[in-house]
Amino acid sequence: MSTGKDYPTLAEATKVWARIAALSFGGPAGQIAVMHRILVEEKRWIGDGRFLHALNFCMLLPGPEAQQLATYIGWLMHGVRGALIAGLLFILPGVVAIMVLSWVYAIWGEVGMVSALFFGLKAAVLAIVLQAVVRVGKRALKNRAMQAIAAASFLAIFAFGAPFPLIVAVAALIGWAGAKAGIAGFKGGGGHGAVGKTHFDDAASLLGEEHGDLTGTKRSGAFRAGAAALVLWLVPVAAMLLFAPGSVFADIATFFSKLAVLTFGGAYAVLAWVAQEAVGTYGWLAPGEMLDGLGMAETTPGPLIMVLQFVGFMGALREAGWAAPLIAGSLGGLLATWVTFAPCFAWIFLGAPFMERLRANQELSAALTAVTAAVVGVILNLALWFAVHVIWREVVRLEAGALSLELPVLASVDWAAAALSVIALLAVFRAKLGMATVLAGAGVLGLALHLVGLA
């Protein structure tokens, strides 16, 4: 690590992390681009090679990679305190914004104007999820082996309702076995390519070049912080199971903890599992409400996975049975957020000292590549699931043996929603408008349709 008079103090770094947090819209791609612009191009704290190295390391971990990247770079800069500041600031604006919007939704969600706004956002979210399928697919499906994994993963979840953890586990096992056997199609390389337009050398950056596994005080401090994060994560879960077994809070603590361990592939992939369980199994919210929550997360700063706070809020609001349901919902949302992000810090602190060794493991890299390919199929299923519930008012379930399909009732098409969806798709894929423009435009169109009596 470089030192000198230009090295930022923790207070100075905190201002930079707060700025990044305030600008962290647009999903992981946009958030990573903002971090690169500020940390590499503007501040020159870290070079391109080390930035991409850190990003690919974060892809090996469960959880939102952009938030973990901020946490890891914060650790490189100022140790455990820097990591906590960078990671917490990255999610804090989203926690506050989603909580406020959850209250608005619970109190006024059925009011015409509010409902119309979310009606428009649903169409934009559908287009954005389809855009994610294309974006991830271009990066991940570079050979027939990866294409086959993506197709199999789509069929498994779409036609047979296979659980997301099983799909991840099988894909990882296939990738690991393929690399072990030396099959060319399973070589690692599912990480990110260059982020910026120009290259800035590590040696010229404030942090300098990386030096392999870190040892000494910084390493032991990371291990202690990782152990503390595990305790802070698992103790509330254990408390819920011991003192409130069978409650919605116990369900939230255990379900979102499982998500935290298996959130490979980003928020869109995880939402397919959330849709299966939170909507289908637990009945915490309806499909359309799931889309509304994603619309909230898309339009507020922070990781898209913040939508889980809304899911926890709605689950506790409806299932806790409290005399003050909004308070129950708030606690449910905060509990979901806690058990989602506490493990993220644990993974960074426990894995950071070994990042060189992890990145050099070819079998692990191949397993990640296969999981990323499987995620394409999972996100495609999510897009179709959203489309069915946005464009049609009624669905039926077709079951025959292991086959289990949810199909739309064609006569129940919502023409206003269909038209908005087409406009949003054209805006994203033909006009190539930005996410903020598409979301704002769709919201305005939803309000306009309401005012003329069509929505």
- Nearest alpha carbon to residue 238 among 254, 226, 224, 227: 254
Please determine, for residue 344, whether its predicted confidence score (pLDDT) is greater than 50.
Answer: yes
Whether 352 and 222 have beta carbons less than 8 Å apart is answered as: yes
Interatomic CA distance for residues 76 and 353, integer angstroms: 10
Query: Which position has the higher pLDDT, 382 or 229?
Result: 229
- Residue range 373-383: mean pLDDT, rounded: 85
Please determine, for residue 2, whether its predicted confidence score (pLDDT) is greater than 50.
Answer: no
Whether 442 and 424 have beta carbons less than 8 Å apart is answered as: yes
Q: Which helix (H) or strand (E) holds 408?
A: strand 403-408
Query: Which position has the higher pLDDT, 305 or 212?
Result: 305
Interatomic CA distance for residues 19 and 120, integer angstroms: 30
| pLDDT per residue as tens digits for the range 231-245 | 999 999 999 999 999
Please determine, for residue 114, whether its predicted confidence score (pLDDT) is greater than 60.
Answer: yes
* pLDDT score of 4: 47
Tokens at 338, concatenated: 């806690």
211-244 burial string, b = 16+ CB within 10 Å, else e?
Answer: eeebeeeeeebbeebbeebbeebbebbeebeeee
- pLDDT tier at 3, thresholds 50, 70, 90: very low
Tokens at 65, concatenated: 């990679």
| pLDDT per residue as tens digits for the range 243-290 | 999 999 999 999 999 988 877 666 677 777 888 889 888 999 998 898
Question: What SS3 state is found at 407?
Answer: strand
Strand partners, 413: 392
Tracing tokens 């994060």 back to the chain, one arrives at 229
Whether 365 and 356 have beta carbons less than 8 Å apart is answered as: no
Which of 25-29, 256-260, 269-273, 400-404 is the most confident on average? 256-260
Tokens at 12, concatenated: 């100075």
Please determine, for residue 308, whether its predicted confidence score (pLDDT) is greater than 70.
Answer: yes
Please determine, for residue 197, whether its predicted confidence score (pLDDT) is greater than 60.
Answer: no
Please determine, for residue 343, whether its predicted confidence score (pLDDT) is greater than 90.
Answer: yes
Interatomic CA distance for residues 261 and 310, integer angstroms: 19
Decide: residue 127, CB within 10 A, 0-12 exposed, 13-18 middle, 19+ buried. Answer: buried
Q: What is the average pLDDT value for the chain, to the nearest integer?
A: 86
Whether 59 and 191 have beta carbons less than 8 Å apart is answered as: yes
Ranges 65-79, 192-206, 267-281, 412-426: which has the least confidence: 192-206
**Count of helices and strands (H, E) across the chain:** 17, 2
Query: Which position has the higher pLDDT, 292 or 165?
Result: 292
* pLDDT score of 1: 47
| Maximum CA extent, the chain | 70
Tokens at 333, concatenated: 């949302």
* pLDDT score of 392: 93
CA distance readout (Å), 214 to 56, 78, 190, 220:
18, 14, 25, 10
SS3 content of the chain, % helix, strand, coil (to 5): 75, 5, 20
CA distance readout (Å), 158 to 28, 103, 170:
25, 33, 16
Query: Which position has the higher pLDDT, 264 or 15?
Result: 15
- Residue range 348-358: mean pLDDT, rounded: 77
Ranges 150-154, 227-231, 246-250, 403-407: which has the least confidence: 403-407
The DSSP code sequence of 14-40 is HHHHHHHHHT--SHHHHHHHHHIIIII
Question: What SS3 state is found at 129?
Answer: helix
The tally of CA atoms less than 13 A away on the side-chain side of residue 389 is 19
Share of the chain above pLDDT 70, in %: 92
Please determine, for residue 365, whether its predicted confidence score (pLDDT) is greater than 80.
Answer: no
Please determine, for residue 439, whether its predicted confidence score (pLDDT) is greater than 90.
Answer: no
Cα dihedral across residues 205, 211, 217, 221: positive or negative: positive
Whether 442 and 144 have beta carbons less than 8 Å apart is answered as: no
Backbone angles phi, psi at 406, to 5 degrees: -105, 115
Query: Which position has the higher pLDDT, 68 or 136?
Result: 68
Q: Which amino acid is at 450?
A: H
